[in-house]
Amino acid sequence: MFVGHYGASFAAKALKNSIPLWILFVAVQLVDVLWSIFVLLGIEKVRIVPGITATNPLDLYYMPYTHSLVGSLLWAIAAVVVYCIFSRRANAWVAGGIVGAAVFSHWLLDLLVHRPDLPLYDSVFKMGLGLWNYPALAFALEVVFLFDGMYLYLTSTKPVSSTGRYGMLIFGFVMLGVQAFVFFGPPPTSANAAALTAFAAYAIFAGFAHWLERKRT
């Protein structure tokens, strides 16, 4: 799953408005951000195998530190601790818990779409329901998760400008366009290219979320 993860960030923002949206955008993709870095460093491994699923060519055969159940839980706990250390707000643990839940939501949503490449720990007992092999269903899930979360956010905030009124919705459709390219565009040229592209997308999306959030109260 890609843009569907951001539905969790919008829902979390609606639940606790004091958490910056860009932080939640990073949180829901944290394990993929780390995956990108670890692939570039040679710590985790991926192969480009066209046809391995119907929607993307990534053979994610070794990613125990980011996408295992145990690893994801540890990153979620780390996110709670880091958020609480740097937050200056009262009841920081409540917001920190929401950030940690946003981090862990990534693994739960990935479980729906990945082929069996998500390990319980290390690189064993791999799981995945494989909905990436059903492009229409997988894309529909991305749409539902993204816009359901965005609806909760938009109905819990008010625009302060025309950009605030329409910008986030337009942003959502742009993200869906990126998702369609990922599903149906040409495969990455290499594992490093896939990692770099993913890292750049996460950074750009978080930046736009930060900018658009300032247009709503």
Q: Which long-range CB contacts under 8 A does 64-68 form with residues at least 24 apart?
A: 64/119, 64/121, 64/122, 64/123, 65/34, 65/38, 66/31, 66/32, 66/34, 66/35, 66/38, 67/31, 67/35, 67/107, 67/110, 67/117, 67/118, 67/119, 68/118, 68/119, 68/120, 68/121, 68/122, 68/123
Angle at 159 between CA 211 and CA 213, to 5 degrees: 20
pTM: 0.96
- Predicted confidence at residue 12, as pLDDT, reads 98
- Predicted confidence at residue 109, as pLDDT, reads 98
Residue span of the structural domain in which 189 resides: 5-213
- Predicted confidence at residue 41, as pLDDT, reads 97
DSSP, residue by residue, 165-214: HHHHHHHHHHHHHHHHHHHHSPPPSSHHHHHHHHHHHHHHHHHHHHHHHT
Number of independent structural domains in the chain: 1
- Predicted confidence at residue 89, as pLDDT, reads 79
- Predicted confidence at residue 91, as pLDDT, reads 82
Angle at 198 between CA 32 and CA 28, to 5 degrees: 35
pLDDT tens digit at each of 217 positions of the chain: 899 999 999 999 999 999 999 999 999 999 999 999 999 999 999 999 999 999 999 999 999 999 999 999 999 999 999 999 998 777 899 999 999 999 999 999 999 999 999 999 999 999 999 999 999 999 999 999 999 999 999 999 999 998 999 999 999 999 999 999 988 889 999 999 999 999 999 999 999 999 999 999 9
Quick one: three-class SS letters along 56-106? CCEEEEECCCCCCHHHHHHHHHHHHHHHHHHCCCCCHHHHHHHHHHHHHHH
**Whole-Å CA distances, 150 to 69, 170, 190, 203:** 27, 11, 33, 19
Q: What is the pLDDT of residues 69-125, one digit of tens each?
A: 999 999 999 999 999 999 877 789 999 999 999 999 999 999 999 999 999 999 999
- Predicted confidence at residue 141, as pLDDT, reads 96
Amino acid 79 reads A
